[in-house]
């Protein structure tokens, strides 16, 4: 006969203050019956005969018995190897097995901590704050010209690049510009496309307002 087939003896149970307060509201003749009913059912599973009790005693047992039955049921499940299948308590928690390929609770926690931050000396998890990208600052024509000289560009190339983006608010096809130096390198790679782009004239001769007579 296996150990599961042998019913174990329950040596104790939880008795709440509310039980005592409820029993003391009944007649003295019913109080002893109720105390014995609670103990006998909780320890041995013996259903009491409440027909001999008064109305208040029966009401008291009706209020107390669900809690006692629940405790008794948990004890019986424990004797049979755990909660029945489908019960939430029957779900086994994964153990920390270093040879397992499954994610372990501790491993997941450590990964999350490494990703989100580290704990300080007080054990408080400090989140890592990503550095903010510096705001874009439009360059001057001379800065552009100096940079173009380092990437084999001419003054004319620098002017075409500068006036093109100065006119459209330093925006690219994908939105606001993030790095004008990177855009300048790309400009030089695509230089044949912009060869016909003329920089705006910086000076113009004053045209006569009226035609000569």
Please state the separation of Cα 174 from the chain's center in Å.
Answer: 32
Residue 75 contacts residue 10 (beta carbons within 8 Å): yes
pLDDT in tens, 59-87: 888 888 888 888 878 888 887 766 555 65
pLDDT in tens, 118-161: 666 666 766 777 677 788 899 999 999 999 999 989 999 999 99
pLDDT in tens, 26-63: 888 888 888 888 888 888 888 888 777 888 888 888 88
Hunting for tokens 């086994």 — which residue is that?
A: 92
For residue 170, CA distances in Å to 54, 136, 141, 153, 176 come to 91, 9, 13, 20, 7
Average pLDDT of the residues of the chain: 76
* CA Rg value for the chain: 43
Q: Is the dihedral of CA 131, 135, 140, 145 positive or negative?
A: positive
Residue 3: which pLDDT band, with cuts at 50, 70 and 90? very low
Q: Say what the pLDDT of residue 182 is.
A: 93
Q: Which residues on adjacent β-strands are paired with residue 31?
A: none
DSSP string of 130-158, one letter each residue: PPPPPPP-PPPHHHHHHHHHHTT--HHHH
Structural tokens at position 82: 């755990």
pLDDT in tens, 86-123: 656 555 555 555 555 555 555 555 565 566 666 666 66
Please say if the pLDDT value at position 6 is more than 90: no
Mean pLDDT of 4-28: 80
State how far the Cα of 144 lies from the Cα of 199, in Å rounded to an integer: 14
Mean pLDDT of 198-205: 52
């Amino acid at each position: 006969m296996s150990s599961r087939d042998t019913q174990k003896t329950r040596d104790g149970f939880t008795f709440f203050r509310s039980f005592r307060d409820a029993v003391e509201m009944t007649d003295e003749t019913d109080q002893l019956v109720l105390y014995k009913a609670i103990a006998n059912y909780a320890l041995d599973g013996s259903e009491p005969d409440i027909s001999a009790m008064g109305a208040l005693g029966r009401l008291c047992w009706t209020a107390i018995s669900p809690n006692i039955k629940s405790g008794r049921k948990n004890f019986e499940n424990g004797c049979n190897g755990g909660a029945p299948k489908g019960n939430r308590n029957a779900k086994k928690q994964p153990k920390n097995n270093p040879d397992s390929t499954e994610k372990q609770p501790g491993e997941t926690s450590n990964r999350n901590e490494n990703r989100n931050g580290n704990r300080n000396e007080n054990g408080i998890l400090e989140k890592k704050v990503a550095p903010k990208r510096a705001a874009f600052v439009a360059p001057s024509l001379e800065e552009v010209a100096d940079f173009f000289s380092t990437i084999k560009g001419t003054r004319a190339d620098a002017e075409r690049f500068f006036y093109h983006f100065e006119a459209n608010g330093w925006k690219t096809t994908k939105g606001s510009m993030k790095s004008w130096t990177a855009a300048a390198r790309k400009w030089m790679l695509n230089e044949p496309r912009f060869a016909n782009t003329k920089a705006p004239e910086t000076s113009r001769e004053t045209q006569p307002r009226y035609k000569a007579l």
